[in-house]
Structure 1
Amino acid sequence: MIITVFTPSYNREKFLPKLYSSLLRQTFKDFEWVIVDDGSSDNTTELVNRWKEEGFIKIKYFKKNNGGKHRAINKGLELASGELFFIVDSDDYLTDNALEIVCKYYEPIKNNDNIIGVTGFRAYSDGSFIGGRRFPNEITDSNLIERRTKYGVTADLAHVIKTHIFRKFLFPDISGENFVAESIVWNRMSIDYKMRYFNEAIYIGEYLEEGLSSNSIRNRIKNNKYASLLYSELVNNPNVVFKLKVKSIINYWRFALCNDKSIFENLKFVKNYFLAILLFPIGYVYYLKDKKYNDVKINR
């Protein structure tokens, strides 16, 4: 088994059929579909069981109590049999040749221990790329942090990661919090590994009004321990340039002030004490702004 297509799902009965249809159309067939149902109350179970009975593709289905996408991904990695792990959200789908393209770029780096996987781009249903700038070359070996700071790439990415390495980067499990940005794991990977990026769209996405990406700030406020961990790690990441460190410290304070720790307790998680103290007032202003406009939204 070469590829595990993994889908975390929560009450997405009406969207999953489009993804299923795109998997049936794949020109590359050596894959499995692992679905972790994060406590849905709709008819997802019955729908998936019907597809399993059809037997057109191999499907593994696991239903658990609601705990957030990151915990679903951890469970998916446990269930996966593929060499590669490809997260495809339940409200999105793949281009017909997506898995064939992935394998084309994976084969040359399959035995390269320094490259963790391959990454293409996301597009809208009309074929236009989501986000902005892409890489200047058709193939680029880089990491998630460098791709923005060095190459200025802002288009949305679709990561396909070597499963055995991904399992070393499970999402942290903080009791009582159900959301953490996936970038916390990509940032950790960027310290020791590169990705092979290619300028082709393999993933079709339409951001839903009620989706996670549309509620990014609100989710970070509610899950502030995860958010402050994300930004403290960015501040301390050796690959992060100074400008990004400044932004990360501001965001660190923005969300760390939402937790139950004192300012001095929060300060110890940022290695650059001087910069953290200097930028505290700006972070505090954002914290106050978020409290006033607690329904603020940003796009992924």
Structure 2
Amino acid sequence: MITVLTPTYNREATLPRLYESLCAQTNKDFEWLVVDDGSQDDTQRLLLEYANIAPFKVHVFYQPNSGKHVALNLGVSKANTPWIFIVDSDDSLIASAVEHVIDAAIALREANAVGLCYRKAYFDMRLVGRDVERSTAPVIMKPTEAGHFFNGDLAYVFKTEAMLNHPFPVFSGERFVPELYIWNKIGDEGDIYCFGNTVLYLCDYLEDGYSKNFSSNLRRNPKGFLTFYWAQISRENNLWYKVKFLLRSIQCYFYTVLNRFS
């Protein structure tokens, strides 16, 4: 019922942690689909080994280094299930994650649900973002709204059909497009149910990851960021955010021109 989709690049050191968390799932009715984005370490060998011994289906695809967004596009096109749970290769899931997602998807079968949203925690179980009032019932939220409300990264599960309808744009020479750009488009199609007090996803922020290298990432991928920021201006209700993203758009345009002559 679920595809756990993992784009990866040179994560030989952290993939075992994710694999072990998948092996520990209380419900193994899922496939693990991994797209290797041109790794130069032993990632490919490790993945092929997992494919032979895993207690669930494993599908491994390879692409020349093109960026996470391109890897996600490829992975979505190869998925064989109605739901996609995106899990990065340096992160992991709690043991009941797949079971919880399947139960929620079944419960919402008759609803206009295109996505499910869960909380992330660090590996020491500290919550990413802010704690909220305790409630077991999910709340419908748009991704931009959820990001502001929870003040931290969130774990998303989307209908495969919705992701197929909204692939990431690809810009020549660039390797990144902010994911929220596509999550918002999916949210325009239907409802995303946020389980604000349910942690399914454990993470860390590595030194070579996107989160800790925002400035250099922006300079290298101005068209991708410009696409996101320009669209985000109309989505924000707060004037401060509108001004912020307008200034970011101008910055991206400057980098686009600068990169043209470098």
TM-score (norm 1): 0.81
Deviation at 1:210, TM superposition (A): 1.0
Deviation at 1:90, TM superposition (A): 0.5
Partner residue of 1:249 out of 238, 243, 246: 246
Tell me, yes or no, if structure 1 residue 153 matches structure 2 residue 150: yes
Tell me, yes or no, if structure 1 residue 85 matches structure 2 residue 84: yes
CA separation in 2, counterparts of 1:193 and 1:159?
Answer: 14
Aligned residue for 1:89, secondary structure, equals: coil
| 8 Å Cα contact 1:143/1:193 also seen in 2 | no
CA separation in 1, counterparts of 2:162 and 2:69?
Answer: 17
Partner residue of 2:124 out of 123, 126, 129: 126
Deviation at 1:240, TM superposition (A): 4.1
List alignment gaps of at least 5 residues for structure 1.
262-300
User: How big is each residue's C-alpha offset from its partner over 1:29-49, in whole Å with a ceiling of 9 and x where there is no partner?
Assistant: 110000000001111121111
CA separation in 2, counterparts of 1:211 and 1:20?
Answer: 20
Aligned residue for 2:130, secondary structure, equals: coil
| 8 Å Cα contact 1:6/1:33 also seen in 2 | yes
Greater Rg by CA: 1
Tell me, yes or no, if structure 1 residue 166 matches structure 2 residue 150: no
| 8 Å Cα contact 1:22/1:93 also seen in 2 | yes
* Residue identity opposite 2:257 in structure 1: D
List alignment gaps of at least 5 residues for structure 2.
none
User: How big is each residue's C-alpha offset from its partner over 1:66-87, in whole Å with a ceiling of 9 and x where there is no partner?
Assistant: 0000000000001111111011
CA gap 1:171/1:134 in 2 versus in 1, 3 angstroms: farther
Deviation at 1:148, TM superposition (A): 4.4
Deviation at 1:136, TM superposition (A): 6.1
Deviation at 1:216, TM superposition (A): 1.6
Runs of 4+ in 1 over 4 A off after TM superposition: none
User: How big is each residue's C-alpha offset from its partner over 1:168-224, in whole Å with a ceiling of 9 and x where there is no partner?
Assistant: 110001111111111111122233432101121000001111111111222012110
Q: How does 1:14-29 map to 2 (within 5 A)?
A: 14-29=13-28
Tell me, yes or no, if structure 1 residue 197 matches structure 2 residue 197: no
Aligned residue for 2:256, secondary structure, equals: coil
Aligned to 1:175: 172
| 8 Å Cα contact 2:147/2:154 also seen in 1 | no
| 8 Å Cα contact 1:134/1:155 also seen in 2 | no
Higher relative contact order (Cα pairs below 8 Å, separated by 6+ residues): 2
* Residue identity opposite 1:158 in structure 2: A
Aligned to 1:11: 10
Aligned residue for 1:253, secondary structure, equals: helix
CA separation in 2, counterparts of 1:105 and 1:208?
Answer: 31
* Residue identity opposite 2:100 in structure 1: I
CA separation in 1, counterparts of 2:133 and 2:229?
Answer: 25
Q: Which deviates more, 227-236 or 69-78?
A: 227-236
Aligned residue for 1:260, secondary structure, equals: helix
CA separation in 2, counterparts of 1:194 and 1:247?
Answer: 27
CA gap 1:174/1:136 in 2 versus in 1, 3 angstroms: farther
